C-alpha cells in the first residue's frame, strides 16, 4: 500500500502533461542536475515532446537510482540520469541498481583535473593535503601512486598513504576552493570547467595542473589524451615522468576499475532494456549533439567532450563490467575502507 501510494504521489507530482521524465538522483543545483536541465531543454526540441526533470535526491545519490531500478524503469517514458558517483557506488556500496538491466541512450566521458600549489615538490617529502569526499576516491588512488611509486602490496600503499597524505572529509566545493586559496590544502581537484573557472589565470589560487585522468578511446578501448589539455598531463604519463616506469601493481589495477566506472559513466542516460522508445530517444540525442546551440550550451557546462550514443554505449558498459575481477574489486573495497574510512561492501555478484 505504502509503495503504491508513494508511486502514485510521484506520478502525480511529475505532472500529467510530461511526456518524458528524466530522473536525477540529486538535489537541484548540483552538477548533474544542471547538466540534465540543459539536455532536457535541447532534447525536447528534437523530440518535439515535453521532457521534464524530476529530482529524487538521497544519501550518496543512491535512492533515486534505486527507485528507478525497482519501480520507475518499467515506465517507458522514464529516463534515468546517472553520474560518476553512481558508478563508484555500483562497485562498493550496497545498491539495488545494476547497469546490465538498462540500455544506454547516451553517455559522456568527462575528465577530472587534479592540481597542486605552484612549485610544491611532493618528492621532497611535503605532505599532500586534499579535501576528500565520495566521488574523489579515484583521485586519491592516483595521488597515492604518484607519491609512493610502484609498490607490491596494497598494505604498503596504505602505510605510505598514512605517512604522506592528509585526507580531509566534509568540505563543499566552495569551501575546498577557499581552503586551497588560503593554503590549508595544497592539492585541488575539479571538473575541467571548474578548473578553468576557479584556477586558470587566478593568481590568488596559485595553482598548476598536476595530472588528469584522460578520456576513454572508443576505438582502442584504452584511455587517451584529453584534447582539452596539452599532452603529457595524463596520469600514466606524469607517473612515468616521476618514477621512470609505467604504473603497475594492485592499486593501479583498482584505480583503472574505479576510473572507468567514474569517468566513462560520468554523465549517462538510461532506459530499461526493451524500452520501445529507445531508438527514438537515441535518434533525438544524435540530432541534439549536432545542433550547434545545444553543443555550445553543453560545452559551457562540461568542456569539449564527445558523446557515446547508441549501441556503442552498451558495448562500453559491457567492456568495463567485464574488467571487474575479484582481486581488483576486493582491493578497491579495502582501499575505500582503510584509506578513506568509507564503509564499503564487496559484492561477489558483480564478478563475471
Task: Give the shortest CB-282-to-another protein separation in angstroms.
Answer: 25
344 and 89 Cβ atoms separated by less than 8 Å: no
When asked if residue 166 is in the footprint of another protein (CB under 8 A), the reply is: yes
Beta-carbon contacts of 78 under 8 Å, excluding residues fewer than 6 positions away, are: 20, 21, 23, 68, 72, 271, 272
Among 48, 124, 125, 182, binds another protein (CB under 8 A): 182
Q: Pick from 96, 175, 240, 245: which binds another protein (CB under 8 A)? A: 175
Overall size of the chain counted in residues: 352
Which residues does 51 contact at the CB level (< 8 Å), separation at least 6?
Answer: 18, 19, 20, 21, 22, 40, 41, 43, 44, 79
Count the residues of the shown chain that bind another protein, applying the rule CB under 8 A.
45
- Residues 183-216, buried b or exposed e (16+ Cβ, 10 A)? eebbbbbbbbbbbeebbeeeeebbbebbbbbbbb
- Contact positions with another protein (CB under 8 A) in 20-39: 27-30, 33-34, 37
123-162 binders of another protein (CB under 8 A)? 129, 134
278 binds another protein (CB under 8 A): no
Residue that is written with C-alpha cell 528524466 in the block: 22
Report if residue 218 touches another protein, rule: CB under 8 A: no
Nearest CA among 194, 143, 351 for reference residue 257? 351
CB of 13 to another protein, least distance (A): 4
Taking CB under 8 A as the rule, does residue 220 contact another protein?
no
d(CA 21, CA 189): 32
**Among the residue ranges 2-10, 154-162, 213-221, 266-274, the one whose residues contact another protein (CB under 8 A):** 2-10
Instruction: Using the minimum distance from each CB to another protein, give the nearer residue, 133 or 228.
Output: 133
Q: Does 343 bind another protein (CB under 8 A)?
A: yes
CB atoms within 10 A of CB 10: 16
CB contact at 8 A, 154 and 250: yes
What is the DSSP code (8-state) at residue 304? S
Total Cβ atoms within 10 A of residue 280: 15
Q: Which stretch binds another protein (CB under 8 A): 170-178, 222-230, 231-239, 266-274?
A: 170-178
- Using CB under 8 A, which residues numbered 52 to 91 contact another protein? 53-60, 63
The correct pick among 69, 83, 177, 212 for binding another protein (CB under 8 A) is: 177
| 174 near another protein, rule: CB under 8 A | yes
* Chosen residue from 18, 120, 160, 179 binding another protein by CB under 8 A: 179
Options 178, 296, 345, 351; binder of another protein; rule CB under 8 A: 178
Describe the strand order of the beta sheet including 112-117 as a list of residue ranges: 187-191, 112-117, 207-212
Q: Which residues bind another protein (CB under 8 A)?
A: 2, 5-6, 9-10, 13-14, 27-30, 33-34, 37, 41, 53-60, 63, 129, 134, 166, 168-175, 177-179, 181-182, 184, 198, 341-343
Amino acid at each position: 500500500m505504502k509503495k503504491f501510494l508513494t508511486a502514485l504521489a510521484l506520478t502525480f507530482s511529475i505532472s500529467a502533461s510530461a511526456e518524458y521524465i528524466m530522473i536525477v538522483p540529486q538535489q537541484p543545483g548540483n552538477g548533474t542536475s544542471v547538466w540534465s536541465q540543459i539536455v532536457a531543454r535541447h532534447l525536447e526540441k528534437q523530440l518535439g515532446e515535453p521532457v521534464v526533470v524530476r529530482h529524487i535526491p538521497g544519501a550518496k545519490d543512491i535512492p533515486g537510482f534505486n527507485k528507478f531500478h525497482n519501480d520507475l524503469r518499467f515506465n517507458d517514458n522514464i529516463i534515468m540520469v546517472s553520474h560518476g558517483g553512481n558508478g563508484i557506488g555500483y562497485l562498493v556500496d550496497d545498491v539495488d541498481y545494476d547497469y546490465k538491466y538498462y540500455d544506454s541512450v547516451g553517455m559522456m566521458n568527462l575528465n577530472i583535473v587534479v592540481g597542486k600549489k605552484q612549485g610544491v615538490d611532493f618528492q621532497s617529502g611535503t605532505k599532500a593535503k586534499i579535501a576528500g569526499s565520495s566521488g574523489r576516491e579515484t583521485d586519491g588512488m592516483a595521488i597515492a601512486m604518484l607519491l609512493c611509486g610502484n609498490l607490491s602490496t596494497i598494505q604498503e600503499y596504505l602505510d605510505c598513504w598514512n605517512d604522506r597524505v592528509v585526507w580531509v572529509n566534509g568540505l563543499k566545493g566552495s569551501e575546498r576552493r577557499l581552503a586551497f586559496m588560503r593554503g590549508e590544502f595544497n592539492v585541488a581537484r575539479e571538473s575541467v570547467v571548474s578548473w578553468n573557472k576557479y584556477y586558470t589565470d587566478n593568481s590568488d589560487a596559485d595553482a598548476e595542473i598536476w595530472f588528469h585522468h584522460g578520456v576513454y578511446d572508443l576505438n582502442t578501448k584504452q584511455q587517451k589524451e584529453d584534447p582539452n589539455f596539452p599532452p603529457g598531463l595524463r596520469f600514466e604519463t606524469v607517473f612515468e615522468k616521476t618514477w621512470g616506469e609505467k604504473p603497475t601493481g594492485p592499486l593501479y589495477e583498482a584505480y583503472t576499475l574505479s576510473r572507468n566506472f567514474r569517468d566513462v559513466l560520468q554523465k549517462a542516460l538510461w532506459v530499461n532494456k526493451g524500452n520501445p522508445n529507445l531508438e527514438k530517444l537515441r535518434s533525438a540525442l544524435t540530432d541534439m549533439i549536432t545542433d550547434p546551440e545545444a553543443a555550445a550550451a553543453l560545452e559551457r557546462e562540461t568542456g569539449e567532450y564527445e558523446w557515446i550514443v547508441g549501441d556503442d554505449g552498451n558495448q562500453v558498459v559491457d567492456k568495463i563490467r567485464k574488467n571487474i575481477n575479484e582481486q581488483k574489486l576486493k582491493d578497491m573495497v579495502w582501499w575505500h575502507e582503510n584509506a578513506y574510512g568509507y564503509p564499503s561492501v564487496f559484492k561477489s555478484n558483480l564478478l563475471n
